[in-house]
A and B are shown apart, each in its own frame.
Chain A
Amino acid sequence: MNILESLGTVFTASVAAATLRLATPYLFAAIGETFGQRSGLLNLGVDGIMLMGAFFAFYAVYATGSLLLGLAAALLIGALLGLAMAFISVTLKAKQGVSGIGLYLFGLGMSELLFQTLVGTPKSVEGFPPIYIPGLSDIQFLGIGQIFFSQNILVYLAFLSVPISAFIFNRTNFGLKIRAVGQNPAAADAMDVSVTRIRYATQIIGGMMAGLAGASLSIALLDVFQQNLTNGMGFIAVALVYFGRWKPLGVMLGALLFSFVNALQLQISAVGIQIPPEFSTMAPYVITIIALVFAGKQSERPTALTVPFQRGE
């Protein structure tokens, strides 16, 4: 097989379609985290919230069969954990990096505890089916129909969240307040913007989106739940926010790059190209570190990130 032919077998429409599908959880979680970080809060517990969201969505669907209830459960638990995180970071002013690790451990243990108690053995549920958009999903040219118009609804929602969040940040009063609170909380406070309220709001939004991210795994992408289902995806989502320089579009590019490498790795082993699987699994993490080095200057970094606000300081 010459190089061109093997490239042809690797860069296929199904890889592209898988890239979009795999990007979904990263996108939800990272866009949600962007809200928090733009307002000056680092939530490292995203992975814990994702795990809880994944379990609650899975369990709601498992118990009732209703996918909408599944989404609602994920949103609810995400909002609650976001609220808890806001209380810890904003009201109690706890060190954000460490408390996030605490939230992660909590979610990791609690989701497994609930799973073992309520479900027990691994089972699969009927998740979100692909939506074939009439007319468009049949386009054969370059596999466009398969790639863009035959995905499940959460994939569309995740990509929709990118322009929506960009619009919120750049064109709305709420977005302006978020940025003000993240850049200069004292000035925002002087302008009668409640730093506390804005940060609570962004943290709850972030929590809900992390919950959705979990749901997109357990009731759309994999249709199962198991111990440590996310396998650290939430941490990568936090890294993607740095990678994307706190801009939704940048975050999306990062998520796509990451999921592309993931999808490629599945394809490479499928067509039998001889790379030790460990190296292809490792690749996304190495790429993330390199990307973080280049994102290192961070001139766009919210100035007040991780700094609790104290009036009169």
Chain B
Amino acid sequence: MNGAFQVRTTPTSWFRTAGNRLLDAAPLLISLALAFLIASGLLLALNVSPIDGFSSMLQGAFGSENTIAETLVKATPMLLVAIGICISFRGGMINVGGEGQMIAGAVAGITVALSLSTTPPIVAVPLSILAGFVAGALYGGLAGWLKAFFNVNEILSTIMLNAIAVQMMNYLLNGPLLDPTEVGVNHVPKTARIAEQLQIARLSIPLPEGVAELFSLQNAELFARTRLHWGLILAIVLAVLAYLLLWRTTIGYRIRAVGENERAAKYAGIRVRWNMVLAMMFAGGFAGLAGVVQVLGLQYRLQTDGSAMGFTANAGFNGIVVALFGGLNPLGAIPASIFFGGLLVGAQKMQRDLGVPAALITSINGMIVIFAVSSEYFRAMIARRRALGGGSMPGTQAVESRPKLPENPPDVIGQATL
């Protein structure tokens, strides 16, 4: 299978590719610009100068060592969810169940972590994380199974499963998993705190001599005394692996083939139903990881205010925005998650400084999604123009022996079909 694509490259191909990539990315950048234009209008309507607003956000997001760390802390769960979204959307499955899958992962992960509190961390931590992945995968796979075998629209089923997961969490945190010291009528629904040695370690970067002074940092290690943890590194490594999975393995090839053209995939002998379930299992698994990493790396216990948002901070939905903005490519999702993490952290500062409600960001996120999927129209139009112009594009020409699938991620938004 690895020999399916032999790419013949001409010396100038990298230049062409870079140019094509830039053109492909243009609609995304334009949609971002449009969203910010509208946001500026809103800020003006709120009697806030857009320049003040955005500079306050920028400062709040990247202004100091601590705010950068907070941005990365916010980016971590969104990136993990987004990796899964990339896989499922590429497989033609619109997974909007990130919230529920995160909760499933968090509940399973903390249950394992609490019961293994005396086990050596080298065993207990990976097991807890694995439990989170598996629980999320099963929960996501359930929606995939319902779609593949009962033709239940996965968007609707995942929305319902989100609501079910929240209630399940509320039930467990008020009963079986309730912190033993909290039992009583007016208890706060939360689990016990996990043992210290099972917490995912904080992440700090040792700096060479003199650098800390240069940037007038307080500590010799970058990000010391911030909440940044190793979950970020885990997420970035997994993003690379997911990229390789999607574009360098048969598993990924099959998932994408099903997503691009179900019928063609079927005729090519690919098991369509199984690959639908698999795509959803990956999506759920990564969201589950986001949930368990949030618990083991940041909160150290699971607590509920009764809503999904109280635990996930909307990361299950924002992960979709990140994935779309990253071009449905796990590698693109890395910078996208940091960007949107900065947006969220920056919005809090803007709310403190200028009294602009942070809900502004939610509506901007919505607009970015809309613009991003709408821009596909213009991208297709540009592509048609280029094709009609007869400009032979001697960049990369695949010598095909298989159904045509692009070797490189085509940076197409919303490739997934419903």
Contact = CB atoms under 8 A, between A and B. Distances in A.
Contacts of B376: 93-95
A93 B320 CA distance: 20
Nearest to B368: A102
B153 interface: yes
B164 A98 contact: no
Interface string A14-50: 0000000000000000000000000000101000100
Interface stretch (B10-18, B168-176, B191-199): B168-176
Contact of A88 (B153, B170, B370): B370
Given A113-B357, A116-B359, A293-B150, A88 B317 contact: no
Interface stretch (A134-142, A149-157, A175-183, A276-284): A276-284
A232 B159 contact: yes
A108 B362 contact: yes
Nearest to A108: B362
Given A95-B414, A98-B324, A113-B363, A289 B157 contact: yes
B186 to A, nearest CB: 16
Nearest to A42: B418
Of residues A96, A103, A104, A117, which shows the largest number of chain B Cβ atoms within 10 Å of its Cβ? Answer: A117
Given A102-B370, A109-B366, A296-B151, A278 B171 contact: yes
Contact of B168 (A101, A236, A238, A282): A282
Interface string A280-300: 011001101100110011100
A239 interface: yes
B29 interface: no
A44 B370 CA distance: 12
Nearest to B175: A276
Contact of B363 (A106, A282, A285): A106
A94 to B, nearest CB: 4
B373 interface: yes
A101 B157 CA distance: 14
A285 B164 contact: yes
B373 A278 contact: no
A279 B416 CA distance: 35
Contact of A103 (B162, B366, B417): B366
A278 B174 contact: yes
A282 B163 contact: yes
A239 B163 CA distance: 14
Contacts of B317: 101, 105
Given A92-B377, A292-B152, A278 B168 contact: yes
Contact of A292 (B153, B320, B365): B153
Nearest to A227: B359
Interface string B136-156: 000000000010001111011
A163 interface: no
B255 interface: no
Interface residues of A, number: 49
Given A105-B362, A289-B152, A239 B160 contact: yes
A224 to B, nearest CB: 17
Q: Classify chain B's interface size.
A: 35 or more
A42 B370 CA distance: 15
Interface in B106-123: none
A101 B156 CA distance: 11
Given A107-B366, A108-B366, A279-B167, A289 B160 contact: yes
Contacts of A48: 366
Contacts of A110: 359, 363, 366
A102 B367 contact: yes
Contact of A296 (B96, B152, B171, B309): B152
A112 interface: yes
A70 B373 CA distance: 33
A3 B193 CA distance: 42
Contacts of A279: 167, 171
A44 B153 CA distance: 12
Could you say which of B146, B159, B321 has the most chain A C-beta atoms within 10 Å of its C-beta? B159
Given A116-B359, A289-B161, A109 B171 contact: no
A303 B284 CA distance: 30
B366 A102 contact: yes
A306 interface: yes
Interface in A153-174: none
Given A109-B359, A298-B151, A292 B156 contact: yes
A97 interface: yes
A267 interface: no
B373 A95 contact: yes
Contact of A109 (B159, B161, B365): B365
B130 interface: no
Nearest to B309: A228
A226 interface: no
B233 interface: no
Contacts of B365: 105, 109
Interface string B360-382: 11111111111011101100000
B46 interface: yes
A112 B161 CA distance: 25
B228 interface: no
Contacts of A42: 418
A99 B374 contact: yes
Interface-central residue, A42, A92, A113, A288, by most chain B CB under 10 Å: A113
Nearest to A107: B366
Contacts of A97: 94, 155, 418
Contacts of A98: 94, 320, 324, 369, 373, 414, 416
Nearest to A100: B155
Contacts of B153: 239, 242, 292
Nearest to B414: A95
24 contacts: A42-B418, A93-B376, A98-B94, A98-B416, A101-B317, A103-B370, A105-B363, A106-B362, A108-B363, A109-B361, A112-B359, A113-B360, A117-B46, A227-B359, A232-B159, A278-B167, A278-B168, A281-B167, A282-B163, A282-B168, A289-B152, A292-B156, A296-B152, A306-B418
Given A44-B155, A105-B363, A112-B362, 6 more contacts: A95-B373, A99-B369, A109-B360, A289-B152, A289-B160, A289-B161
Interface of B: 42, 46, 94, 96, 146, 150-153, 155-157, 159-164, 167-168, 170-171, 174-175, 309, 317, 320-321, 324, 357, 359-370, 372-374, 376-377, 414, 416-418
Closest 3 CB pairs of A and B: A109-B362, A106-B366, A109-B363
